[in-house]
Amino acid sequence: MSAKFTGIMISCRHHAHPSLVEANELRMFSDVDYSQPDVREDVLNWGVWITKELGLAGMRIDAVKHISSAFIKDFIDHINKHCGPDFFIVGENFNHDSKALAKYMDEFDDRMYLYDIKLMYNIFDAAEGNKTDLCTIFDDSLVRLRPHRTMVSTLRHGSAFD
């Protein structure tokens, strides 16, 4: 099943990064097939259009683990070509394994940031009083592995901390 892009969430079960896929998990009922030329073209053109229309300097790509790495690379190339090489892109990959995130990040040659999920949980644990030694707050974090391309956040949409 393929469909043209109709919203902000872009995801795909069939072409997701194989080491990070969770079984049968789809986002917002989308199953976009980026191997289809018309779908690819629509999403690439949408990225340039929304960037120029809103005057964006960057964007977040939700659920990147559900999207083909090859397509994300093409998307970044297309945005950089049409909107400038300094366009900021952060991917949301909700994975506690910082080593897996660092490996995934390496596929993009420093062209995409990722959120540090492990650090987010470490901060949450400290705030709840479960981790009182702040010297260990960065243990196992993505910041330790890729400090130059890591975003730190203490909240996320749909947070399990609600």
Is 86 in the active site?
A: no
From the list 92, 106, 128, 139, the catalytic residue is: 92
From the list 62, 106, 133, 162, the catalytic residue is: 62
Q: Strand (E) positions, the chain?
A: 58-61, 88-91, 113-115, 150-151
Instruction: Give residue 99's pLDDT.
Output: 95
Is 62 in the active site?
A: yes
Name the strand (E) or helix (H) holding 52: helix 37-54
3-state secondary structure 65-102: HHCCHHHHHHHHHHHHHHHCCCCEEEECCCCCCHHHHH
Name the strand (E) or helix (H) holding 53: helix 37-54
Q: What is the pTM of this model?
A: 0.73
> Tens place of pLDDT for every residue, the chain, 162 residues?
344 433 333 334 444 444 434 444 444 446 778 888 999 999 999 999 999 999 999 999 988 888 889 999 999 999 999 999 999 999 988 888 999 999 999 998 888 999 998 998 888 888 888 877 888 889 999 999 999 989 888 765 554 544
